[in-house]
Structure 1
């Protein structure tokens, strides 16, 4: 009578005891994970769709695109937002904004290593903000010698947490080192004011009392219309955002007295608008393709996608389709050349859309942009699904994750059951094996 391998037999029988459960739990976990992954893909597609919608429906961008052209380059540039009114404007640039830059009246012998006082304070103010620098903090090299250099002062100003918006630099020119202060911002209100006090060293205090202006703090000045007779506008920055509704001007160079104003032309950008529409169509089709991919049932192969017949996906698809087929500002997408084919894809009839651009550009903008119109309605529709704390996708995913965690717990319990069965079988077959050896030994005694 041959012996048996207790470990092998115990493993086979213990595996048989739990095999069906293992397979069931593995299949369930795979199904839950498949649904979780699919929901993540759909959620990402919905977020991308919402982002595309919002990029075409905000204060600076809409479906309608406008262009701004200037009659001559080098004086100012312009860009037009979707709400800009088409027309022609005369603009004269009298003055560009500059930042305040001064040279401090330091001695001609100034070098980066020149020692500065480490008592008293240096006060710098720009645009209503102020820094009072305690000069005793300049001796920060840790040697405790109570000395600091002009280079240390420059570094302390530039790296101070309360710097009001001033840059300090040492510039070498004409064989001399110059200590310079510059405002980070342009305009009169951002002029640099500086003073030293309590240092006990007259040369240092006098230096900051005697500033040489290298560049004055000036506001930008433009005229809408003729200089001296048009509308005068001043700005601390070289960018004018409110001079003309929907138009941003950035001046780069002042004109000479007697020169004529430049002509700024604002007009509709048909190609830019068509590009916006194409992006909307692409965003819609991408969303629908994703919904179809994860919810379809293939009748020919009898295979089902991970979220086949899922009510959430059906609801999203139904609501989005219903919205884009709706009427906004008295018009439908089909009336401006945007159709949804039998395959569910949105398509653009370029000829019909160009005609709508020509005949109904104002209505076209109102149809897509603004409160309760197409893009706003789509954003409102998808918002409940995408809220981080209480969105429908989040709750669905959380439920699936909990199911997977419960399966993992069952797998852990099943492994304990397997080990208990294995130990029991191993003990039984070990005992059996011992009895069989004893029987074999007894039989051998009888030859």
Structure 2
């Protein structure tokens, strides 16, 4: 009678005891993990689609693009948003805006280590705002002294600084204490004074200042110089002077010169690029949803979220919106259609013609308040909220299911260990008996 291997027998029987449960738990875990991965992919595609929508629907960007051109370069540049109307304008640049810059009357032997008073105040006023520097607070290294370098740092780093920069500039072997306004225009003139310091040289330095750059406002004429509409601005950028157009002047013309022509018109290529971004994001989203929710056929496998009602609802809502009517306009009327396979396509010629005929209507369709892009963003928001959104809730639920499976696996391992120990004990005893029986039989030859 042959002996048994208790370890092998115990391992086989203990494994057989838990194997059905092990397979079922693994299948459940694989299913939950596949669903979790699929939800992540769909959520990512949905976020990318929403991001593309928002990128084309902000205060600085829209689907419809306009372009500008000028008859003479070097004097001003212009940019036009979707609200700009096509047209031609005459612009004369009389003066560009400049910032105030001055040199204080500090001693000739000034340098960064020059000691300054540690009592009194230094006051700056710019455009109605005042900054007061308490000289007693300038000593940052604790040596009981204050230096020019510490004064410069205190001015530039003060959180209440109204718009003045202080610098020490070396020229011809001499260091100068300079003050510059951070903004252009007459309103940003620097007014500075020192008081209560007990040091006449220091207070005189801020009384006897020299302008290096006089603050000026920008001046342009909408039309010819002297007869057109005169416009003045503290900044070199004129926003909304012409509806939807920003002008930035950079160089003044000579008095008597002819005004420069500014042309504004639709930018077909840039608009088409924006529309194609929208189409690509839509098609990517629909393709991802179909991949994971499809019921499958002979050529394609069944999606892990097949017929999921929530994802189908998202797909249906987005489809209804892109096929919908907004103020009498719809995408199909301007060359953007959904084909039989559900893919969005662009008829470039039809779209270009629609933009030429009525770009304002196109702008209203996409970017009008409550219209297409607004409606898409509103529809998607409940699904993508970071704490209570559908995807967050669903993924949390699936993760909890996976965690429960993990707990069951741990319990199953304990069950295996108990079964193994029981079988090992039984087969060890059996093996001992068989050994004894073999020995007894051997005695009878």
1:121 aligns with 121
After the TM superposition, which of the residue ranges 37-46 and 417-426 deviates more from structure 2? 417-426
Q: Gaps (5+ residues) in structure 2?
A: none
Say which SS state the counterpart of residue 68 (structure 1) adopts: strand
Q: CA deviation at 1:403?
A: 1.5
Matches within 5 A, 1:28-47: 28-47=28-47
Partner Cα distance (1:94, 1:65) in 2: 30
Partner Cα distance (1:421, 1:361) in 2: 78
After the TM superposition, which of the residue ranges 243-252 and 318-327 deviates more from structure 2? 318-327
Partner Cα distance (1:7, 1:103) in 2: 95
Q: CA deviation at 1:132?
A: 2.6
Partner Cα distance (1:39, 1:192) in 2: 59
Partner Cα distance (1:132, 1:96) in 2: 31
Q: CA deviation at 1:128?
A: 3.9
Q: CA deviation at 1:78?
A: 0.3
**TM-score (normalised: structure 1):** 0.91
1:254 has 2:270 as partner: no
Partner Cα distance (2:129, 2:285) in 1: 50
Partner Cα distance (1:86, 1:154) in 2: 50
Q: CA deviation at 1:302?
A: 6.7
1:153 has 2:151 as partner: yes
Partner Cα distance (2:186, 2:423) in 1: 92
Q: CA deviation at 1:147?
A: 2.4
After the TM superposition, which of the residue ranges 235-244 and 144-153 deviates more from structure 2? 144-153
Partner Cα distance (1:384, 1:19) in 2: 43
Q: CA deviation at 1:6?
A: 4.1
**Cα shift readout 1:61-91 (whole Å, capped 9, x = no counterpart):** 3332111112211111000000111112222
Partner Cα distance (2:327, 2:86) in 1: 21
After the TM superposition, which of the residue ranges 312-321 and 8-17 deviates more from structure 2? 8-17
* Paired residues of 2:83 and 2:360 also in contact (CA < 8 A): no
**TM-score (normalised: structure 2):** 0.91
Matches within 5 A, 1:223-372: 223-300=221-298, 303-372=301-370
2:69 aligns with 69
Matches within 5 A, 1:385-400: 385-400=383-398
Q: CA deviation at 1:245?
A: 1.2
Aligned length: 445
Say which SS state the counterpart of residue 181 (structure 1) adopts: strand
**Cα shift readout 1:43-75 (whole Å, capped 9, x = no counterpart):** 111121122222333333333211111221111
Say which SS state the counterpart of residue 304 (structure 1) adopts: coil
**Cα shift readout 1:266-292 (whole Å, capped 9, x = no counterpart):** 111222222222222222211111112
Partner Cα distance (1:315, 1:102) in 2: 66
Partner Cα distance (1:434, 1:205) in 2: 109
C-alpha distance 20-73 of structure 1, shift in aligned 2 (>3 A): same
* Paired residues of 2:15 and 2:416 also in contact (CA < 8 A): yes
Partner Cα distance (2:11, 2:195) in 1: 89
Say which SS state the counterpart of residue 115 (structure 2) adopts: coil
Say which SS state the counterpart of residue 123 (structure 2) adopts: strand
2:132 aligns with 132
C-alpha distance 82-436 of structure 1, shift in aligned 2 (>3 A): same
C-alpha distance 175-395 of structure 1, shift in aligned 2 (>3 A): same
Matches within 5 A, 1:2-151: 4-141=4-141, 144-151=142-149
Matches within 5 A, 1:177-192: 177-192=175-190
* Paired residues of 2:115 and 2:145 also in contact (CA < 8 A): yes
C-alpha distance 148-58 of structure 1, shift in aligned 2 (>3 A): closer
2:410 aligns with 412
Partner Cα distance (1:101, 1:445) in 2: 120
* Paired residues of 1:106 and 1:178 also in contact (CA < 8 A): yes
Partner Cα distance (1:32, 1:260) in 2: 74
Partner Cα distance (1:407, 1:156) in 2: 62
Partner Cα distance (2:300, 2:203) in 1: 90
* Paired residues of 1:57 and 1:370 also in contact (CA < 8 A): no
Q: CA deviation at 1:207?
A: 1.1
Partner Cα distance (2:331, 2:309) in 1: 27
* Paired residues of 2:104 and 2:208 also in contact (CA < 8 A): yes
**Cα shift readout 1:292-333 (whole Å, capped 9, x = no counterpart):** 221223311573112111112222222222322233333433
**Cα shift readout 1:145-173 (whole Å, capped 9, x = no counterpart):** 32233223222322334333322111111
Partner Cα distance (1:184, 1:163) in 2: 10
Say which SS state the counterpart of residue 329 (structure 1) adopts: coil
Say which SS state the counterpart of residue 185 (structure 1) adopts: strand
**Cα shift readout 1:171-227 (whole Å, capped 9, x = no counterpart):** 111221101111222222322232223322221121122221111222222222233
After the TM superposition, which of the residue ranges 151-160 and 436-445 deviates more from structure 2? 436-445
Query: What root-mean-square deviation, in Å, do the aligned CA atoms of Structure 1 and Structure 2 show?
Result: 2.5
Say which SS state the counterpart of residue 259 (structure 1) adopts: coil
Q: CA deviation at 1:35?
A: 0.9
